[in-house]
């Protein structure tokens, strides 16, 4: 895995929002991970954990408070000129969560899809423009006559397909899919995920797939990162994370997913996470999950757990797996 080409390298990325004179909301507070070319990296966590803010900061829809986002080896947040930003915007696109809000209701579908094509001058004639739009509509499973209609004439699933076509229009290398299926009916979700998987194969795309539905993330992702309250709790390959989760937060999230086998479902132990997510304006000292963790001890309040590789490709931020602190957890299963 590590021999593959790194498309994105996120280093200690922070995004803080100033609320008032004395309060700062630490939405993303020092996350680091890589995304390899051609893979889907799933980013999961509860609502409010900062995963969508992370996606938007990587895309530079938000300016980073600190840290780096290196795309093809170049720092995204160091780009200043219009020309540089325009080139970057062509190579990195976003599919938004809400297909109702992300499409301009006053524009035809044809013009919505062609907007990026026009901005980047990717065609020379109206005929080429129409042909390109028609090709994109067919690619995402819509008919060419849909191009003359308006967004309100389509279902949620169809609108999301239009959003996908718009993202594909400028031939990007990388797409941030920000909860692209959460606003859709369950019956439509699998269709959209399968479409994204097919397009990835056909166009050699790389995805950051942001979601809170862990079962769907397993279906589409090669590797998965788990966020909690602005920080990264765990990263592993999809199969390993689901088979052997290390972080108590990840274990709790996965235990909440119902299993198809009723015998196994009845016999397994469900981990209940007590309490509410603390405020990102005033996060707990030490480990941010300690106020809800069944294994927490005094050391968890005193020291911030180091995010490090427990075994090859499996990273975790938890004192349970740190040799320095193993004697602090006599009752915990290591």
**pTM higher than 0.95:** no
Q: Determine whether 270 is exposed, middle or buried from the number of CB atoms within 10 Å of its CB (0-12, 13-18, 19+).
A: exposed
Question: What mean pLDDT is predicted for residues 39-47?
Answer: 94
Compute the average pLDDT of residues 17-37. Answer: 94
Among 300, 294, 308, 230, smallest CA distance to 15 is for 230
| 222-245 tens-digit pLDDT | 999 999 999 999 999 999 999 999
Q: Select from 55, 203, 186 the least CA-distant residue to 140.
A: 203
Q: Residue 263 has which token pair?
A: 């015998």
Reading phi first (left if > 0) and then psi (alpha if -120 to 50, else beta), residue 199 is in alpha
CB atoms within 10 A of CB 32: 16
**Fold adopted by 6-328:** Rossmann fold (3.40.50)
pLDDT at 265: 53
Which of the two residues, 323 and 92, has the higher pLDDT score?
Answer: 92
Under the banding of pLDDT at 50, 70 and 90, the label for residue 258 is low
- The phi and psi torsions of 193 (rounded to 5 degrees) equal -65, -45
Average pLDDT over residues 107-116: 95
The domain limits of the chain are 6-328
> Hunting for tokens 């590590």 — which residue is that?
2
CA atoms of 261 and 272, how far apart (whole Å)? 21
């Amino acid at each position: 895995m590590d021999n593959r080409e790194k498309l994105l390298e996120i280093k200690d990325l922070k995004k803080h929002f100033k609320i008032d004179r004395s309060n700062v909301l630490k939405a993303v507070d020092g996350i680091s991970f890589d995304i390899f070319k051609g893979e889907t990296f799933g980013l999961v966590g509860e609502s409010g954990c900062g995963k969508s803010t992370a996606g938007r900061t990587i895309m530079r829809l938000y300016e980073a408070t600190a840290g780096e986002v290196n795309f093809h080896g170049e720092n995204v947040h160091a780009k200043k000129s219009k020309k540089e930003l325009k080139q970057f915007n062509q190579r990195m696109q976003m599919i938004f969560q809400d297909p109702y809000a992300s499409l301009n209701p006053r524009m035809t579908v044809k013009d919505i899809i062609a907007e990026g094509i026009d901005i980047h001058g990717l065609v020379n004639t109206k005929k080429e423009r129409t042909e390109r739009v028609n090709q994109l509509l067919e690619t995402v499973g819509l008919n060419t006559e849909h191009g003359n209609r308006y967004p309100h004439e389509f279902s949620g699933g169809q609108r999301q397909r239009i959003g996908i076509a718009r993202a594909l229009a400028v031939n990007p290398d990388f797409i941030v899919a920000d909860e692209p299926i959460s606003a859709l009916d369950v019956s439509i979700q699998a269709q959209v995920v399968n479409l994204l998987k097919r397009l990835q194969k056909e166009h050699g795309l790389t995805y950051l797939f942001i979601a809170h539905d862990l079962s769907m993330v397993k279906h589409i992702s090669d590797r998965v990162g788990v966020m909690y309250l602005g920080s990264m709790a765990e990263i592993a390959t999809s199969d390993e994370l689901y088979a052997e989760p290390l972080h108590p937060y990840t274990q709790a999230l996965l235990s909440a997913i119902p299993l198809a086998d009723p015998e196994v479902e009845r016999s397994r132990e469900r981990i209940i996470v007590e309490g509410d997510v603390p405020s990102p304006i005033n996060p707990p000292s030490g480990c941010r999950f300690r106020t809800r963790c069944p294994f927490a001890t005094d050391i968890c309040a005193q020291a911030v757990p180091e995010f490090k590789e427990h075994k090859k490709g499996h990273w975790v931020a938890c004192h349970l797996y740190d040799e320095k602190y193993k004697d602090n957890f006599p009752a915990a299963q290591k």
